[in-house]
């Protein structure tokens, strides 16, 4: 059984009003980040009168790694704050990659800082390199806020360990997610020793004020966008499950009702983090894309059962309360720069592509959708897609395995045969990472510039 939610012309008019092509803010953001790092280096250099002897070199190396680690900690938290300027314009997947990269650098700098500072303290006390462990214990017991810093460093170590790819793949998503949230506690615990034991802040009151301002601003953004904004959104729209409908074996659509949902600011191609207040699901929050344009009283997500949470969605009862955070994501009509658009979906990646297929403005023949699945039985929402294609004069194609299991050819040559002017298209795609990488290479081989290939991945 399928369910059709169509926004039609009204949805396309709404989308047209949102199409405002703009430059990505990534470059100015990165320049601001590097300017901050340069300021940290200047602070260190300005307060480093002498690095002549070995002990001074070691201690000052410990100082600069500590300052840079403290600076990066603030950025790591900022990247978790779900700031719309980052999420909607830069893209959730890119922000996630920045977060992962910043986290790795932060961990390296934290451990380098601890080792170098404790080594330098040991040498100052006339001890050898082998006495670092004892020196660390003494420092924790004697210096202000070092106990909290030690606990925070331990949390960073735990977070780093569970974020290693082989470890993370073996952990339930919810376990990993809640451990990852300990980053907030780790940053809070390690912050105070920076102020109380950091020589740079003791001799530079302006630097201390700037450090408080940096961390205070980031904290304010986290509180606003991770707590207050979702609270306001859910109190205003009061969402509940309306129905759960099986689309194909293993894939269900969840219809979510509420008040004035079209005023949530969501666009086709975006996603929310959803929490369903059902037994066993209240503590789980997962990202699912909208599979239809938002309507005033109804939203829809379409989900494939690939884990405990997604499999449990089919058991949701009408009336179940829903808590949502979002909308997030930058794979929207605003990325479009050409009249013609190719949408490429792999598996359940059809969900945001279906919403875009319905709402992207275009004349007959301007919009093409290529849907990759293992078999025709796995083509979820196919009846809806066919109806949209017929109404809009859009082109709808599918690529499935042959009866003997041979995979279809999606290469630069095959794409050029099917779509001769593909190099003049914008391309939006969504699907598993391996599939997306293969299609990306085929598109580049077919002459599509990288700047016109739009894809978001939510695997860190």
Distances (CA, A) of 381 to 1, 191, 250, 445: 10, 50, 13, 30
Q: For the chain, which residues make up each domain, given as ranges?
A: 26-229, 238-328, 333-455
pLDDT, position 22: 43
Rounded distance between C-alpha atoms, residue 452 and residue 262, angstroms: 28
How many whole angstroms separate alpha carbon 40 and alpha carbon 43?
5
Q: What are phi and psi of 227, to 5 degrees?
A: -120, -60
pTM for this predicted structure: 0.82
Q: In what order do the strands lie in the sheet with 240-248?
A: 240-248, 251-257, 298-304
Alpha-carbon torsion, ordered 13, 457, 79, 110, to 10 deg: -170
Look up tokens 């320049």; give the residue: 31
Nearest Cα to Cα of residue 15 among 262, 234, 256:
262
The enclosing H or E element of 27 equals helix 26-46
Answer yes or no: same fold for 238-328 and 333-455. Answer: no
Query: What is the chain's pLDDT, residue by residue, as a tens digit (460 residues)?
Result: 444 455 555 444 444 444 344 445 567 888 889 999 999 999 999 888 777 788 889 999 999 999 999 999 999 999 999 988 787 777 787 888 889 999 999 999 999 999 999 999 988 888 877 788 888 999 999 999 999 999 999 999 999 999 998 998 888 888 898 899 999 999 999 999 999 988 888 888 899 999 999 999 999 999 999 999 999 999 999 999 999 999 988 899 999 999 999 889 899 999 999 999 999 899 888 999 999 988 889 999 999 988 888 889 999 999 999 999 999 988 888 888 888 999 999 988 999 999 999 999 889 999 999 999 999 888 999 999 999 999 999 999 999 998 888 899 999 999 999 999 999 999 999 998 889 999 999 999 999 999 899 987 655 4
**HEC string for 64-123:** HHHHHHHHHHHHHHHCCCCCHHHHHHHHHHHHHHHHHHHHHHHHHHHHHHHHHHHHHHHH
Instruction: Tell me, rounded to whole angstroms, the distance of Cα 216 from its chain centroid.
Output: 23
Place of tokens 């603030």: 74
| Cα dihedral: 133, 138, 143, 149 (round 10) | 40
CB 112 within 8 A of CB 65: yes
Q: Write out the two tokens for 185.
A: 């506690």
Whether the Cβ atoms of residue 381 and residue 291 lie closer than 8 Å to each other: yes
Angle at 341 between CA 339 and CA 445, to 5 degrees: 115
CA 26 to chain centre: 15
Q: What is the CATH number of domain 333-455?
A: 3.40.50.80
Residue where the block lists tokens 């630069």:
412
Edge-to-edge strand list for the sheet holding 340-346: 395-400, 367-373, 340-346, 425-430, 453-455
Report the C-alpha gap between 353 and 372 in whole angstroms. 12
Our CA dihedral for 35, 36, 38, 40, rounded to 10 degrees, sits at 170
Token couple for 451: 């700047």
Token pair in block for residue 157:
């170590």
pLDDT of residue 458: 54
Please name the fold of domain 238-328: Elongation Factor Tu (Ef-tu); domain 3 (2.40.30)
Q: Which CATH class is domain 26-229?
A: mainly alpha
Residue 361 CB-half CA count within 13 A:
17
């Amino acid at each position: 059984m399928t369910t059709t939610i169509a926004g039609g012309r009204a949805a396309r008019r709404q989308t047209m009003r949102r199409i405002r092509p703009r430059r990505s803010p990534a470059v100015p953001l990165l320049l601001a980040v590097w300017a901050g790092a340069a300021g940290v280096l200047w602070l260190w250099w300005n307060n480093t009168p002498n690095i002549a002897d070995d002990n001074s070199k070691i201690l000052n190396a410990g100082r600069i790694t500590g300052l840079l680690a403290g600076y990066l900690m603030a950025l790591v938290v900022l990247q978790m704050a779900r700031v719309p300027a980052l999420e909607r314009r830069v893209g959730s997947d890119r922000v996630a990659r920045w977060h992962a990269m910043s986290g790795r650098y932060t961990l390296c700098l934290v451990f380098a800082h601890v080792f170098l500072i404790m080594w330098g303290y040991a040498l100052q006390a006339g001890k050898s390199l082998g006495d670092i462990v004892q020196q660390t214990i003494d420092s924790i017991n004697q210096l202000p806020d070092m106990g909290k810093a030690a606990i925070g460093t331990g949390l960073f170590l735990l977070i780093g360990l569970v974020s290693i790819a082989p470890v993370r793949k073996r952990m339930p998503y919810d376990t990993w997610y809640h451990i990852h949230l300990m980053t907030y506690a780790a940053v809070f615990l390690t912050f105070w020793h920076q102020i109380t034991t950091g020589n740079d802040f003791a001799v530079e009151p302006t630097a201390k004020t700037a450090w408080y301002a940096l961390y205070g601003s980031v904290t304010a953004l986290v509180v606003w966008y991770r707590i207050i904004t979702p609270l306001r959104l859910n109190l205003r729209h009061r969402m509940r499950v309306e129905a759960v409908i099986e689309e194909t074996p293993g894939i269900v659509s969840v219809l979510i009702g509420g008040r004035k949902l079209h005023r949530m600011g969501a666009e086709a191609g975006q996603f929310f983090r959803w929490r369903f207040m059902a037994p066993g699901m209240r503590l789980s929050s997962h990202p699912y894309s909208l599979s239809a344009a938002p309507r005033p009283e109804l939203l829809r997500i379409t989900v494939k059962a690939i884990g405990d949470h997604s499999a449990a969605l089919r058991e949701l009862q009408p009336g179940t309360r829903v808590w949502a955070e979002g909308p997030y994501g930058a794979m929207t009509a605003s990325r479009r720069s050409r009249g013609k658009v190719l949408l490429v979906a792999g598996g359940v990646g059809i969900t945001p592509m279906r919403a875009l297929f319905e709402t992207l403005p275009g004349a007959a023949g301007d919009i093409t959708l290529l849907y990759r699945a293992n078999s025709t039985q796995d083509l979820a929402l196919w009846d809806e897609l066919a109806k949209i294609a017929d109404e809009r004069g859009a082109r709808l194609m599918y690529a499935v395995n042959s009866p003997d299991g041979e995979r279809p050819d999606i290469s630069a040559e095959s794409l050029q045969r099917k779509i001769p002017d593909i190099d003049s298209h914008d391309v939006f795609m969504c699907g598993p990472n391996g599939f997306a990488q293969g299609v990306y290479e085929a598109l580049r081989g077919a002459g599509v510039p990288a700047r016109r290939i739009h894809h978001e991945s939510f695997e860190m």
